[in-house]
Structure 1
Amino acid sequence: MRNGNRTARSKIMATPRALRPLRNPAYRWLAAALVASMVGAGIWMVALVWQIVAIGGGAAELSLVAGASAIGMLLTTLLGGALADRIPQRRILITVEVVRAASVGAVALLALAGSLDVWHLAVVAFVGGVMAGLYYPAYSALLPSVVPEDELLAANGFEGMARPVLMQAGGPALASALIAITSPGAALAVAALTGVVAAVCLRRVPELPLRREPAGGTGHPAVALLVDVRDGFAYMVRTPWLLGTLSFASLLILIIMGPFEVLVPFVIKDVAGAGPEGHALVLAAFGIGGAVGSMVVASLKLPRRYLTVMNLLWGLGCLPLLVFGLTDQVWVMAFAAFAVGAAFNGGVVIWGTLLQRRVPPEMLGRVSSLDFFVSLAFMPVSMAFAGPAGELVGLPVVFLIAGIAPLVIGVVAIVAARMRRDELAHPLDVAESPESDTIGASPVSPEREPEPAPEPALA
């Protein structure tokens, strides 16, 4: 019997660290649902553009539809976190996929029948934004119930790898092929089908209990949700490492996303003299870098100095943006984009794992929604200011700021929030247990910190 246990342990440890969560049947179904959802999102992004073109629309119509999606996400992200802490997350995810499949399927039928208008797409984009606001907090809160704590880093690494590969490459490539062979309406129909596939996969994930005591009180449910949202903000404010990291992430997005999304295409066109193929190369390098960075981090142990490493990855990872203000060679820009993507996504993998291991289970949905909300709130602001900033001070200066400022802010956040002391007081680099090859909820770790008592933030 002892030899059998030793053999099983050897087989488990022989599995590459990044692939160990896939030994868990429940996680395999959850990962399959995630893959289907990401492929569908990638198809939707490309099919939407060409469907608008097919019905005679242009940039203004595309902006209207994209804006409707962004508004939907902003309206529901924080409430989505509160719901994820009150309702079994698996049910939320299934509902999201069913609604997505039904709404996208409806516009696909209208497109194939020749009866589609822009307002139909705007409504469905708004619904999709609402569903996206519910999806991320529910998925983040469900994952720690499906895989053991020592495999969360690998599971988050898989998501970090799948997102650029499927949403930025696989899904768009499939959409382009479908449009070339048939029509944008057919691509929309396939996007709807991916929602059905995701819902079916989620049905195979076991129903797991909430890691929270049933909510008490007799108040109105809407009021209770708002109270939950308030409590999420309160937890963030009195948790220095969380407030410091989210503050840094907010400024990071504000500083770099606009230059990368808005100004890089003009650098490629006006400075390097390249066209769409050059832009595609840079974006592909960024996505590939993200996938590589995610898998590298997922293949290693969580660093002991996890807060310091994570924030420095984000800060140092922005330095290659300096290249976009200094060179006229597209291949050099592609290498810089690869480095930025690798460092940024590597830090995101640590961040997701950190939230799932240190935030109390009953608060995880709300904290995850705050993380998502930060990205949504500051990204459009960054894009709005990037163009005028480039014209006012010049592209080299903008990329100089985008490359250096995040590192300075990151170091300030580490020091101000006392992260180096905090990460040593709450170590997460525990020894892995090869016997943790179980299906279903993992026990709450004794290392998970309790909800902290009020203290001055960033003292």
Structure 2
Amino acid sequence: MTQRSTPDRDRRRPRALRALRLPRALHLPRALRPFRKVQYRWLTTALACSLCSVGIWLVASVWQVIQLGGTASDLSLVAFGSALGLTLSVLIGGVVADRVPQRRILLVVEAVRGLGFATAAVLALTGVVQIWQLAVIGLVLGLADGFFYPAYSAWLPALVDPDELLAANGIEGMLRPTVMQGLGPLVASLVIAAWSPGAAFALVAVLQVGTASALWAMRTTAVRRELDPDVHPLRSAVTDVRDGFAYMVRTRWLLATLLFATVLVLIVIGPIEVLLPFAVKDQTGGGPGAFAAALAAFGVGGALGSLTAASMRLPRRYLTLMILAWGVGSLPLAVIGLTDLLGVIAAACFVVGFVHSAAQVVWGTLLQRRVPPALLGRVSSLDFFVSLALMPISMALAGPVGDAVGITTAFLVAGIGSAVLAVLTLWIAKLGPDELAHPLDDLPVAAPDPVPLTED
């Protein structure tokens, strides 16, 4: 590891060399500055491996259901298991994230996910896998995921400087679509074409070793809050949940955004997660490769949207632009149900991925800048719980609704309904004065740190 430069050593250097020395903040573009931190580089490595596993699982589980002769309703059952698990565990996940060092939480989460993937691989490769088993495994994976995001979100501000949070969230937003919706599905389609979904399940189990190794290389950091040792842990946990809800209810911008997200998820998640593979298969005649291409378009769009948001300053009207991006940006979903061209479906996926991911970068930074650190884990879990509370219902309804009214109608409702919802939210909540009174870029920027790139 490169040693720090001491003041005495600096004084012994020629004046010309000292004058040429640049602040570390100028060595990298704005979007890449978090990579100066060793801890962050390991965390990003772990995140990339984990997201690749999820991307492979998404495609492999879909085509395993199809190979078993399953329908859209059967796929809804598998997706419902994962969504239900996430919804059930995310509140307690937020409480734990504000009490337990987040590195330990993430290590346990990735170990559980690895066991789930390995179980699916054994069942599939031995030829005994059934749809209900995939639903149960999805439930376990969802339960683990409910602990992941609150811990990750609460840990990130402890690893990077405040003025680097937008870039760090942009990197996460870029990795999520690129790796989870791009690389992961591509790898899954190749493995499935060459072997079987079971082989893809085995691959994701192996990838979890990489995730755990990266987390193991990191240092544990202290939880950023003071706990009262005289209060019983169970009573304190209940109080933590209550305090998180109380903060949400009295904070109008947070409550309005989460209620908007709740209805948005009900409208769009089911069609995207459940009906998109059947739209690709039935309307374009495509197989796993075509479905992976549609997901890859989501991924490429999301990556570019996240990178664009990370490279810019925070917008002044961040609440307005964020909600419009999620709502009006979902309009291209209506096109998916109206075309039999894979290229058009991919283009629609690209646009939705771009605007949704850009908005998500702003949202993550908004939480980390305006929510007190002691509440961040719980508020992040409430973000998941409230906004995704209807996700299991969306998953469960998408298949039967698609079978009943057709894929075209389902995607039309998803696209047009989302845009109308965004306009109504801004009109009713009147968030303009709040965003103008609390600009996200009003925090002091940390002074340039001359520590070399290899330092933490």
TM over 0.5: yes
> Using a 3 Å threshold, how does the CA distance of structure 1 residues 24 and 113 change in structure 2: closer, same or farther?
same
Q: Contact conserved, 1:244 with 1:413, CA < 8 A, in 2?
A: yes
Query: Identity rate of aligned residues, in percent?
Result: 53
Please list the CA deviations of residues 63-90 of structure 1 after superposition, one character each: whole Å capped at 9, or x if unmatched.
Answer: 6554433332222111101110111111
> Using a 3 Å threshold, how does the CA distance of structure 1 residues 183 and 269 change in structure 2: closer, same or farther?
closer
Other-structure match for 1:252: 264
Other-structure match for 1:353: 365
Q: How does 1:370-385 map to 2 (within 5 A)?
A: 370-385=382-397
Give me the whole-angstrom Cα distance separating, in 2, the residues matched to 1:289 and 1:155. 18
* Per-residue deviation, 1:9: 3.8
Give me the whole-angstrom Cα distance separating, in 2, the residues matched to 1:321 and 1:108. 33
> Using a 3 Å threshold, how does the CA distance of structure 1 residues 92 and 304 change in structure 2: closer, same or farther?
same
* Per-residue deviation, 1:400: 5.1
Give me the whole-angstrom Cα distance separating, in 2, the residues matched to 1:31 and 1:229. 29
Q: Contact conserved, 2:120 with 2:201, CA < 8 A, in 1?
A: yes
Q: Find the residue that maps to 2:344 and give its secondary structure.
A: helix
> Using a 3 Å threshold, how does the CA distance of structure 1 residues 280 and 248 change in structure 2: closer, same or farther?
same
Give me the whole-angstrom Cα distance separating, in 1, the residues matched to 2:445 and 2:236. 39
Give me the whole-angstrom Cα distance separating, in 2, the residues matched to 1:321 and 1:84. 35
> Using a 3 Å threshold, how does the CA distance of structure 1 residues 405 and 217 change in structure 2: closer, same or farther?
farther
Q: Contact conserved, 2:42 with 2:215, CA < 8 A, in 1?
A: yes
Other-structure match for 1:427: 439
Gaps of 5+ in 2: 1-9
Give me the whole-angstrom Cα distance separating, in 2, the residues matched to 1:61 and 1:332. 27
Q: How does 1:232-311 map to 2 (within 5 A)?
A: 232-262=244-274, 274-276=285-287, 280-311=292-323
Q: Does 1:144 align with 2:157?
A: yes
> Using a 3 Å threshold, how does the CA distance of structure 1 residues 243 and 178 change in structure 2: closer, same or farther?
same
Q: Contact conserved, 2:76 with 2:399, CA < 8 A, in 1?
A: no
Q: Does 1:402 align with 2:394?
A: no
Give me the whole-angstrom Cα distance separating, in 2, the residues matched to 1:253 and 1:328. 25
Gaps of 5+ in 1: 440-459
Please, which of 73, 96, 101 is the counterpart of residue 83 of structure 1? 96
Other-structure match for 2:83: 70
The aligned amino acid for 2:93 is G
Q: Find the residue that maps to 1:35 and give its secondary structure.
A: helix
Equivalent pairs counted in the alignment come to 436
The aligned amino acid for 2:108 is T
Give me the whole-angstrom Cα distance separating, in 2, the residues matched to 1:299 and 1:182. 41
> Using a 3 Å threshold, how does the CA distance of structure 1 residues 4 and 237 change in structure 2: closer, same or farther?
farther
Please, which of 48, 73, 83 is the counterpart of residue 35 of structure 1? 48
> Using a 3 Å threshold, how does the CA distance of structure 1 residues 57 and 434 change in structure 2: closer, same or farther?
farther
Q: Does 1:165 align with 2:178?
A: yes
Give me the whole-angstrom Cα distance separating, in 2, the residues matched to 1:406 and 1:306. 19
Q: Find the residue that maps to 1:79 and give its secondary structure.
A: helix
Q: CA RMSD in A?
A: 3.4
Q: Contact conserved, 2:91 with 2:385, CA < 8 A, in 1?
A: yes
Other-structure match for 1:446: none
Q: Which moved more, 1:100-109 or 1:30-39?
A: 100-109
> Using a 3 Å threshold, how does the CA distance of structure 1 residues 128 and 216 change in structure 2: closer, same or farther?
same
> Using a 3 Å threshold, how does the CA distance of structure 1 residues 25 and 327 change in structure 2: closer, same or farther?
same
Other-structure match for 2:377: 365
Give me the whole-angstrom Cα distance separating, in 2, the residues matched to 1:181 and 1:275. 17
Q: Which moved more, 1:162-171 or 1:81-90?
A: 162-171
Q: Find the residue that maps to 1:214 and give its secondary structure.
A: coil
Q: Contact conserved, 2:106 with 2:151, CA < 8 A, in 1?
A: yes
Q: Contact conserved, 1:77 with 1:372, CA < 8 A, in 2?
A: yes
Other-structure match for 1:443: none
Q: Contact conserved, 1:164 with 1:288, CA < 8 A, in 2?
A: yes
Q: Find the residue that maps to 2:390 and give its secondary structure.
A: helix
Q: Find the residue that maps to 1:377 and give its secondary structure.
A: coil
* Per-residue deviation, 1:402: 3.5
Other-structure match for 1:225: 237
Please list the CA deviations of residues 272-294 of structure 1 after superposition, one character each: whole Å capped at 9, or x if unmatched.
Answer: 65544665544332222111111
Q: Contact conserved, 1:24 with 1:438, CA < 8 A, in 2?
A: no
* Per-residue deviation, 1:11: 5.4
Q: How does 1:316-355 map to 2 (within 5 A)?
A: 316-324=328-336, 329-355=341-367
Give me the whole-angstrom Cα distance separating, in 2, the residues matched to 1:77 and 1:357. 21
* Per-residue deviation, 1:154: 1.2
The aligned amino acid for 2:216 is R
Q: Find the residue that maps to 1:307 and give its secondary structure.
A: helix
Q: Contact conserved, 1:108 with 1:185, CA < 8 A, in 2?
A: yes
The aligned amino acid for 1:362 is A
